[in-house]
Amino acid sequence: MKEIVVIIGGGIAGLEAATQLLKLGYSPIIIEKNDRLGGHVARWNRLFPDMTPAKDIVDDLIASSKDANIFLNTEISFVNRLKDSYNVMLSNGISINSRFILYTTGFRLFEAQKKEEYGYGVYNQVLTNADLENWFNTDKDKRISGKDIRKIGFVHCVGSRDEKARNSQCSKVCCITAIKQAIEMKEKFPESEVFCFYMDLRLFGKKFEDFYTKAQRDHGIHFIRGRVSEVSENINGQVIVKAEDTLAGKPLKVTLDLLVLMSGMVCNPDSTKAASMLHLPIDSDGFLQSSDNVFHITSSPRKGIYYAGACTGPKTVPETLAEARSAVLDIHSEITAGKK
């Protein structure tokens, strides 16, 4: 019989892992809580650094993993440890026995309304990075469509690098996402002025620095080093942003037609819940804890349990896909070693 691998989470990590497991002749089972596959990437429009349509990536992954057993709208009710395997009970009543469980439970977007001073959910013209991706996809958002947008601001590090929000980690992808979205907005509203408020610009990835210089030189996007301290609204419904320009050492204010909050990637409570069923360790940042962060990022401390993607911390799409392949290789090695 084909070896079964249970994959918890049908985001890109889970789909890529299923694709590779199928190629190796195994039988992956994807458990997805939502009513659709693709996770967060299915909500995005175009991906940095090559502006690849997110839909293409997700559609390809769904097509290549279609022979897996997929349960949508399904969660794990409980997991029991047997002698050398696991018994996984699903919310639909189905029970699965498997030697391998791969966690691809991903992250959760920081809830921007928790940072009250930025006015998300209070002031009409304040939205999040995810809202903006949604607008790129649907063209439906009363705050933007058909409006005369002349000044746009982006606030970096919303709910990241913020101990008061209980997330001290850097979300890693939001600096580049802010710059990507700033350029996209400038292309949609060529007459507009765009401001990015940052603490540090963390542009670690391939071609990310090119995005930065392109934003400066070709699009005239203004970068202001300073954390936005407060946002208010004027009678025209515009938002007024206050910050310190820390390079000039002076306080600064600007009135904007649209303010976009770069909500960070934080640990997913669904992930923690699924991990607690097997008493898997949680790291200090709230994400799942790998057996070590250099050599075995996709391994848990427990035999047969593996991780891939953003469930262990903020990751980009290519990093997530690479981890999914790597975890599958680990599983494959363990299976073949046992057969010798």
Partner 1 sequence: MSIFGFRISPSSAMNLDTIDRSRFEELCRIEPDAARCMSCGACSATCPASEFSGMSVRKVLLCLQRGKEEEAFRMMNNCMLCGKCTMVCPRGINTRHLILSICRIYDKEDKR
Write out the residues near ligand FAD by the rule CB under 6 A.
8-14, 31-34, 39-41, 44, 47-48, 75-76, 104-107, 109, 129-130, 173, 177, 265, 268, 270-271, 274, 309-310, 315-318, 320
Tell me 189's DSSP state.
Answer: S
32 binds, among ligand SF4, ligand FAD, partner 1, none (CB under 5 to 8 A by kind): ligand FAD
CB of 41 closer than 8 Å to CB of 338: no
217 binds, among ligand SF4, partner 1, ligand FAD, none (CB under 5 to 8 A by kind): partner 1
164 φ, ψ (degrees, to nearest 5): -70, -30
CB atoms within 10 A of CB 246: 13
Q: Which is nearer to ligand FAD, 19 or 238 (CB)?
A: 19
Contact letters for partner 1, residues 182-201 (x by CB under 8 A): -------------x------
**Is residue 245 close enough to count as binding partner 1 by CB under 8 A?**
yes
Beta strands (DSSP E) in 140-249 are: 151-158, 193-198, 222-225, 230-233, 239-245
Q: Which is nearer to ligand FAD, 13 or 194 (CB)?
A: 13
**Is residue 333 close enough to count as binding partner 1 by CB under 8 A?**
no
156 binds, among partner 1, ligand SF4, ligand FAD, none (CB under 5 to 8 A by kind): ligand SF4
CB of 263 closer than 8 Å to CB of 243: no
Task: Give 71's strand partners.
Answer: 31
Binding residues (CB under 6 A) for ligand SF4: these are 156-157, 160-161, 170-172, 174-175, 200, 202, 262, 264
| One-letter identity of residue 67 | D
In the complex, minimum distance from the CB of residue 241 to partner 1, in angstroms, rounded to a whole number: 9
C-alpha pair distances (Å), 41 with each of 20, 57, 74, 268: 19, 8, 20, 15
Tell me 312's DSSP state.
Answer: G
Beta strands (DSSP E) in 175-248 are: 193-198, 222-225, 230-233, 239-245
**Is residue 306 close enough to count as binding partner 1 by CB under 8 A?**
no
Those residues whose C-beta lies under 8 Å from the C-beta of residue 200, and which sit 6 or more positions away, are none
One residue of 55, 114, 143, 222 binding partner 1 per CB under 8 A: 222
Q: Which is nearer to ligand FAD, 125 or 312 (CB)?
A: 312
Measure CA of the first residue to CA of the last residue in the chain; give whole Å.
17
Q: Which is nearer to partner 1, 76 or 241 (CB)?
A: 241
Residues that bind partner 1 (CB under 8 A): 195, 212-213, 216-218, 220, 222, 225, 245, 247-248, 250-255
